[in-house]
Amino acid sequence: MRRTVALLSIALALAAIPAAAQERPVAFTGARLLPITSPPIENGVLVVQGGKIVAVGPAGSVRIPNDAEVHDVSGRVIMPGLVDTHSHIAGASGGDRSAPMHPDVRVLDALNPLDTGIQKAQAGGITTANIMPGSGLLMSGQTAYVKLRDGRTIYDLLYCKDVLTEVCGGMKMANGTNPIGSSPSPGTRAKSAAIVRNKFVQAQEYREKIRRANGDPSKMPARDLEMEALVEVLEGKRVVHFHTHRHDDILTAIRLQKEFGFRLVLQHVSEAHRVANEIAAAGVPASIIVLDAPGGKLEAMDISNANGAALEKAGALVGFHTDDGITDSRFFLRSAAIAVRYGMSREAALYAMTMAGARMLDLEDRIGSLERGKDADFIVLSGDPLSTYTRVLQTWVEGVKVFDLNDPRDYLYAVGGRGAGVVAAFHHEGMEGH
Amino acid sequence: MKAIHILGKVAARAAAAALVAFAPAALEAQVAVRGETVYTMAGAPIQDGVVLIGRNGKIERVGRASEVRIPDGYRVFTGKVVTPGLIDAHSVVGLAGYLNQEHDQDQLERSNAIQPELRAIDAYNARERLVEWLREHGVTTIHTGHGPGAVMSGQTMIAKTRGNTVDEAVVKPVAMVAMTIGPEVARNFNNRPGTTPKAIAMMRAEFLKAQDYMRRQQQARDGNGPSRDLKLEVLAQVLRGEIPALITAQRAQDILAALRLQREFGFKLILDGAAESYDLINEIKAAGVPVIIHPTMARHSGTLENASMETIRRLRDAGIQVALQSGYEGYVPKTRVVLFEAAMAAAYGMPFEQALATITIDAARILGIDDRVGSLERGKDGDVVVFDGDPFEHTSHVCTVIIEGQVVSETCR
């Protein structure tokens, strides 16, 4: 039975693979290329085929196949598709208030691939996103690593091919004030850490039982969805994405990571400027958010747009995220520009928008740079990525154009206007007389 | 070397506070600003221009450096681009604080959906961190006060982003009366009113009462007039055209309702938000109503689900008076910055100087304070911002902010 389901899901996944994988090569000529892992190339040539990058280099040094469809993009800039390490688009939700930790709950069971948030993210140049459940619980569930293809079902968007046998994302955790509340939520920070530690100790014991069973089905512990997911965390197959703001909460997250040895990506790190050296020393990557003003919640009141600069200086791996709806995916490129305004280097900021995010999601072999053999995920910009005036003209995912500013429908999602709304929002107008 | 501001640096904050606190001493100084490009917003930009600000805090002269000699003893600031102090045409900062706790949120009183008598000056905190944040980013004048979300939430005021008290900051203690038409009102007031039509009926009834109050005042002889009613006094001022009504309405049907009310009662209307105004350009133009558009980057959800980054450009192209605002934010970030909102309006196709006008001279005109601020002209307030590059580039910095000749920020941010 289980096998049938697995086969079925593979079949679905295969059927869904976008007609993409074009056979005929496509070449882009004349643009300034920002490969990220190597220096910019003026008047570059990018050749893609079968959903992959097959060549990238300066004009003259790259052979354009005779049968290639050639796009002259002179005066434009091409860079890798952006990686958003923390987003809530497409109707993300996770665990409920019945318990403080929900390692068994999957965000992918909530996602609607037809949500206009996907189109808007494509319009912002985002090609890969880590869609997460919220931060109102210590562990709100499993996140989903998605490729922003034009999809009909969630299977069209996921990186994993089989949701039943593969790890399809990370694990969302949170500390500080968001997960604190009335029972069964913890009431204090120390209790928060204790609940998490107890759960991980249980998972360690569960893993030990599996080890002792040594493959003997009669000795295996009963299946436990929570424990299975946490064992994936303990074994480093599932990365923990940890929402944390205050400097002491950041250190608590690192302390838990040291104790249980899971792989950790810090998310938000509003006070990173206070503990940048500790973050760097722990070798833990940090994904930051850039905001137009401080405040709004107590633990984020000392957020600084100089976090990028501080973490870069300390030597930590820095990425960016939208936290969409906190910031809009269409303005994601602003994050890099504003981080640069506050002292981050241009190179580190562009790396943070792409390659750093790819590394945080374990996808650096497939995405994050313009390199031969990587997925053909890239964006065509009207100008420099750090300029306010630059527009995303096209977004390509695996060799397929998923966004084109010249397309009226795409234009609507990029700019807004009548019909661009989220899935029709419900406006409460009262129920008198009903 | 660019000085980089780290928000958490206590020292930097204390220094900024000190600058403001010792304002009177700074007033003695005469200030000259010289920029490679000076956008006066009164005529073409001046290449290599100079602005002189006198002891009284007013602009003495504006012109080319080759024609305007900087007198001895003037403190000189130089930079790539010089603009008038920026104007935020609609905000709630000072009433809304950045902690977002009950004790620092005074922008919306929920005891009653109609309270036009609430004064902004009774709640404005001049030392609020968000006021400082706006000032550091070049915003020198704000129209702030009671926020959207009530049928009539209260009054607004206009202030300079300086001073330690409301009295030191205030430009106009009563600017407008803030009203809202939209479904958020029912949510804020526990369904009293529960629908938009009910809310509009309540507004009409209130204006009728004010008309009656005015009639009884006019007919009064020998002190037998109506007893004072703070609510009706303010609404009477609105009906007499002395104070404009600022009606927040995002959806097309709500904007039309605002225009309908204006036609019925003849008050001076300023539309606020107006996300779907692009569908009502003819109607708004015919009514001759100015529009303070929602922030370009406002969250496009709820009543703003069909908002467009191009609305402001489309309205202005049609000849409607427009300005930009930071608006109200209930969570993170706790305010927006009009500099960034105008930058995005420019990014989405508005010509540079038009976008700059939405946060300078055009905003001043809509607020009725263009005799004092909004452009760099002789006799106006010496409110000036110096940038180290194109003001709208995110990678540029605001390096000097001057309010009435007083240097209130000298760190590049």
Q: Which domain holds residue A361?
A: 82-367
Query: Among residues A164, A128, A156, A39, which one has the least CA distance to residue A363?
Result: A128
Are residues B230 and B286 located together in one domain of the fold? yes
Are residues A95 and A32 located together in one domain of the fold? no
Dihedral Cα B16, B20, B25, B29, nearest 10 deg: 80
* Residue B1 reports pLDDT greater than 60: no
Asked whether residue A305 is domain-assigned, the answer is: yes
pLDDT of residue B384: 98
Confirm or reject contact between A427 and chain B (CB < 8 A). yes
Quick one: which H or E segment has residue A131? strand A126-131
DSSP letters for B260-299: HHHHHH---EEEEE-TTGGG-HHHHHHHT--EEEPPTTS-
Are residues A163 and A304 located together in one domain of the fold? yes
Query: Among residues A286, A259, A262, which one has the least CA distance to residue A274?
Result: A286
Asked whether residue B3 is domain-assigned, the answer is: no
Count of structural domains, chain B: 2
Are residues A125 and A203 located together in one domain of the fold? yes
Count of structural domains, chain A: 2
pLDDT of residue A23: 84
Q: Among residues 331-350 of chain A, which lie with CB inside 8 Å of chain B?
A: 331, 334, 337-338, 340-343
CB of A81 closer than 8 Å to CB of A356: no
pTM: 0.93
In the numeric block, the tokens 């984020």 are attached to: A300
Residues of B in contact with A296 (CB under 8 A): 98, 100, 329-334
Query: Among residues B173, B180, B174, B183, which one has the least CA distance to residue B328?
Result: B180
Are residues A234 and A332 located together in one domain of the fold? yes
Task: Note whether A343 contacts B2, CB cutoff 8 Å.
Answer: yes
In this structure, are strands A318-320 and A77-80 parallel, antiparallel, or unpaired? unpaired
Confirm or reject contact between A425 and chain B (CB < 8 A). yes
Q: What is the pLDDT of residues B37-67, one digit of tens each?
A: 999 999 999 999 999 999 999 999 999 999 9
* Residue B9 reports pLDDT greater than 50: no
pLDDT of residue A422: 64
Q: Give B222's contacts (C-beta < 8 A, 6+ positions apart).
A: none
DSSP secondary structure code for residue B28 in this structure: T
Neighbours of A98 (CB within 10 A): 8
Asked whether residue A430 is domain-assigned, the answer is: no
Are residues A174 and A281 located together in one domain of the fold? yes
Q: What is the CATH number of the domain that holds A48?
A: 2.30.40.10
Q: What is the pLDDT of residues A317-358, one digit of tens each?
A: 999 999 999 999 999 999 999 999 999 999 999 999 999 999
Asked whether residue B30 is domain-assigned, the answer is: yes
In the numeric block, the tokens 């009431």 are attached to: A187
Task: Note whether A416 contacts B276, CB cutoff 8 Å.
Answer: no
Asked whether residue A206 is domain-assigned, the answer is: yes
Dihedral Cα B159, B161, B163, B165, nearest 10 deg: 50
In the numeric block, the tokens 């929602």 are attached to: B294
**A-to-B residue pairs, Cβ atoms closer than 8 angstroms:** 162
In this structure, are strands B245-249 and B177-180 parallel, antiparallel, or unpaired? parallel
CB of B148 closer than 8 Å to CB of B178: yes
Length of chain B: 413
At B156, is the secondary structure helix, strand, or coil? Answer: strand
Q: What is the pLDDT of residues B264-291, one digit of tens each?
A: 999 999 999 999 999 999 999 999 999 9
Interface test with B, best of A135, A292, A321, A427 (most B CBs within 10 A): A292
CB of B182 closer than 8 Å to CB of B303: yes
Tokens for B221, please give them.
């002889």
In this structure, are strands A400-404 and B46-53 parallel, antiparallel, or unpaired? unpaired
Are residues B107 and B78 located together in one domain of the fold? no
pLDDT of residue B25: 44
Query: Among residues B340, B277, B338, which one has the least CA distance to residue B312?
Result: B277
Are residues B250 and B360 located together in one domain of the fold? yes
Q: Give B235's contacts (C-beta < 8 A, 6+ positions apart).
A: B116, B177, B206, B207, B209, B210, B213
* H helices present in B71-195, as ranges: 129-136, 166-169, 184-188
Under the banding of pLDDT at 50, 70 and 90, the label for residue A193 is very high
Asked whether residue A433 is domain-assigned, the answer is: no
Residue B352: exposure state from Cβ atoms within 10 A (0-12, 13-18, ≥19):
middle
Are residues B29 and B155 located together in one domain of the fold? no
Tokens for A195, please give them.
């609940």
The span from the CA of A205 to the CA of A194, in Å, is 17
Residues of A in contact with B93 (CB under 8 A): none
Are residues A68 and A86 located together in one domain of the fold? no
Are residues B56 and B101 located together in one domain of the fold? no
Please give the C-alpha separations between residue B194 and each of B108, B143, B249, in angstroms, as whole numbers.
18, 29, 17
The span from the CA of A196 to the CA of B32, in Å, is 60
DSSP secondary structure code for residue B34 in this structure: E
pLDDT of residue B224: 83
The span from the CA of A241 to the CA of A253, in Å, is 10
Q: Give B223's contacts (C-beta < 8 A, 6+ positions apart).
A: none
CB of A226 closer than 8 Å to CB of A103: yes
Residues of B in contact with A391 (CB under 8 A): 347
Q: What is the pLDDT of residues A32-61, one digit of tens each?
A: 999 999 999 999 999 999 999 999 999 999
Q: What is the CATH number of the domain that holds B283?
A: 3.20.20.140
> What is the ipTM score, two decimals?
0.92
